[in-house]
Amino acid sequence: MIEDGNAAVRLRGISARFGSHTALEGVDIDVCEGEFVALVGPTGCGKSTLLNVVAGLALPSSGDVHLLGETMKGPDRRTGYLFQQDALLPWKTALDNVAAGLIFRGEDIKEARLKAQVWIDKVHLKGFENHYPHQLSGGMKKRVGLAQILILDPNILLMDEPFSALDIQTRNLMENELLRLWQEDRKTVLFVTHDLEEAIALADRVVVLSAGPRASVIGDFEVPLARPRDVMEIRLTEAFLEIYRRIWGILRGEVMKSYAR
Amino acid sequence: MLDKHKVRLYQIGLLVGSLTLWEAMARYELLDQFFFSRPLSILSRLFELLATADTYRHLSITFTETLLAFIIGTALGIGAGLWLALAPMALKVLTPYIKAFNAIPRVVLAPIFTLWFGLGIASKVALGVTLVFFLTFFNTWQGVREVNPVVLANARMLGAGRGHLLRHVYLPSAAGWIISSLRSAIGFAVVGAVVGEYLGSAAGLGYLIAQAEGVFDTTGVFAGMTTMLVFVLILDWTVSRVERRILAWRPAASAGEEMI
């Protein structure tokens, strides 16, 4: 079991109710420092709601969120959030989007732009600094989004199906890109997805949520795959299929339930 | 490219054709020149007007009134729109009053403003402001309400405070709405100025038109109207230039629907 001290994210008894509808009930999750945890569950089970609660963008109806040992009271500066939808500021260039967080935190504009340039290069967008989001492809926008968050050096990364809108090739590229960047300093990651393959390929641990309403944690699996990984190659290995079969055994029933509704 | 030329050609054809028809009908007395005048005499009157120094005094007065009404009205409208969009309580309290004030036909305020502010520039500016204010106000308010919630949440997560949100999210997001209102606002500012002058003043384009009307000088009325038309087109063109610069970040399709 996880020691009390080193849980970066600790959720205890999280419930979320919207009127008479209970989306989440009694969700307990711990994410250790430096751990990459994927949260899977059928569509509509409240994964995004849960992530919004961790981000401080939504309040749980009951339960506690602890971040880095402290009770969370609202959006935390040590948390970075990569959204599913386009979340870039459409009126800012790629460079200024990456610099935005630093400027919000009071850094000098020139200084912020210099640092942003470094990150633009890091996510392979050299030459696109002065493009506006609408001039970038879906994958490029995600790269900007990633740089926008990582430049702030957050302790905890929250990701809400960030690559689900991308085509499959771009998606695999972005997943590898994410792993490469994550490998550099191993931040704590809570990654929400409905794609089990993606979850296993990326994460150290996969947590399974049941179909809503009243979704809760019904499975917690270590992913014993070596790093560094290549998300395209690793899917073909026996160890990957083995863990996939085990988790799918639980997830399948939940997916069926959510279809039946 | 070819299509564009074709459109331009038809546009010019339509103008020349209808003016020629008007001229011909007036010459062959199908239209009474006393009531309808005719394009060529309006044109020669225009040249007369342009040759008179006094005309420029009238024009500059109308221009000043328009500009003041435009600037004051939009500044107040944007300010109030932003404030009310971000302060839901104040909005709830003030909504019925805003609706009530907006329901007043502005023309009936003109005599009151003349009483309050005199026959000079101030009463016309006040009239223009009441017209411009509500337009920019409603547009700003709407623009702020339509901020993309994901972009807003993202900015919050990146650490934006209230001031940052206003400057980096709400204002640019509302900019499209605000700027599209600016083009109508400049028209309203002109209406405020000219109607104000028309109803009671000693100078300005509206005054010139009212004078001509007073002596049944239709040619003079049309000449005044033409001057005003050109005046508004120039202002509108200027605003659309500004619009294109500010909205450079937008996809080309929705940025500048060019009419002129």
Question: Per-residue pLDDT tens for A97-106?
Answer: 999 999 999 9
Burial class (CB in 10 A: 0-12, 13-18, 19+), A197: middle
Mean per-residue pLDDT of chain A: 90
Which helix (H) or strand (E) segment holds residue B191: the answer is: helix B171-199
Residue B126 tokens read as 């006040």
- Minimum distance, in Å, between the CA of residue A239 and any CA atom of chain B: 37
Residue A222's identity, in one-letter code, is E
Site from A91, A149, A161 to mutate, B interface, most B CB atoms within 10 angstroms = A91
At residue A185, does pLDDT exceed 50?
Answer: yes
DSSP H or E stretch at residue B6:
helix B2-27
Rounded to whole angstroms, the Cα distance separating B124 from B26 reads 36
pLDDT at position B184 over 60: yes
Residue A1 has pLDDT above 80, yes or no: no
The mean-pLDDT minimum among A171-180, B81-90, B184-193 falls in: B81-90
Q: How confident is the model at residue B255 (pLDDT cuts 50, 70, 90)?
A: very low
**Domain B52-258 annotated CATH 3.40.449.10:** no
Rounded Cα distance between B37 and A6, Å, is 90
What number is the average pLDDT over the span B139-157? 91
Residue of B152, B154, B167, B245 to mutate, interface with A, max A Cβ within 10 Å = B154
Percent of chain A surpassing pLDDT 90: 67
Indicate the pLDDT class of residue A4, thresholds 50, 70 and 90. low
Mean pLDDT over A220-230 rounds to: 91
pLDDT for res B252: 63
For residue A217, pLDDT over 80 is answered with yes
> Does the pTM of the predicted model rise above 0.90?
no
Q: For residue A248, give how far its alpha carbon lies from the nearest alpha carbon of chain B (Å).
A: 32
Output the CA angle A62-A65-A71, nearest 5 degrees: 115
Cα B8 from chain centroid (whole Å): 25
**Per-residue model confidence as pLDDT tens digits over B215-224:** 999 999 999 9
Question: Is the alpha carbon torsion for B198, B201, B205, B209 positive or negative?
Answer: positive
- Mean of per-residue pLDDT scores for chain B: 88
Q: Summarize pLDDT for B51-88 with one digit per residue, the tens.
A: 988 889 999 999 999 999 999 999 999 999 988 888 88
pLDDT at A2: 45
Predicted local confidence at residue B88, as pLDDT: 80
Instruction: Provide the pLDDT for residue B1.
Output: 59
The tens digit of pLDDT for each residue in A106-135 reads 999 999 999 999 999 989 999 999 999 999
Confidence of residue B24 (pLDDT cuts 50, 70, 90): very high
Maximum separation of any 2 CA atoms in chain B, in Å: 75
B249 and A57 in contact by Cβ < 8 A?
A: no
Q: Is A153 on the interface with B (CB under 8 A)?
A: no
**Chain B contact set for A92 (CB, 8 A):** 168, 249
In this predicted structure, the answer to whether residue A67 has a pLDDT above a threshold of 50 is yes
Whole-angstrom distance, CA of residue A150 vs CA of residue A184: 11
DSSP collapsed to 3 states, chain A: CCCCCCEEEEEEEEEEEECCEEEEEEEEEEEECCCEEEEECCCCCCHHHHHHHHHCCCCCCEEEEEECCEECCCCCCCEEEECCCCCCCCCCCHHHHHHHHHHHCCCCHHHHHHHHHHHHHHCCCCCCCCCCHHHCCHHHHHHHHHHHHHCCCCCEEEEECCCCCCCHHHHHHHHHHHHHHHHHHCCEEEEEECCHHHHHHHCCEEEEECCCCCECEEEEEECCCCCCCCHHHHCCCHHHHHHHHHHHHHHHHHHHHHHHC
ipTM above 0.90, yes or no: no
Q: B154: which chain A residues are within 8 Å (Cβ-Cβ)?
A: 81, 83, 87-89
Q: Residue B214 pLDDT > 70, yes or no?
A: yes
Chain A residue numbers with beta carbons less than 8 Å from the beta carbon of B164 are 103-104
Q: Do A104 and B175 touch (CB under 8 A)?
A: no
Q: What is the pLDDT of residue A211?
A: 85
Name the band, by pLDDT with cuts 50, 70 and 90, for residue A202: very high
Tokens describing residue B239: 């605003």
Residue with tokens 């402001």: B129
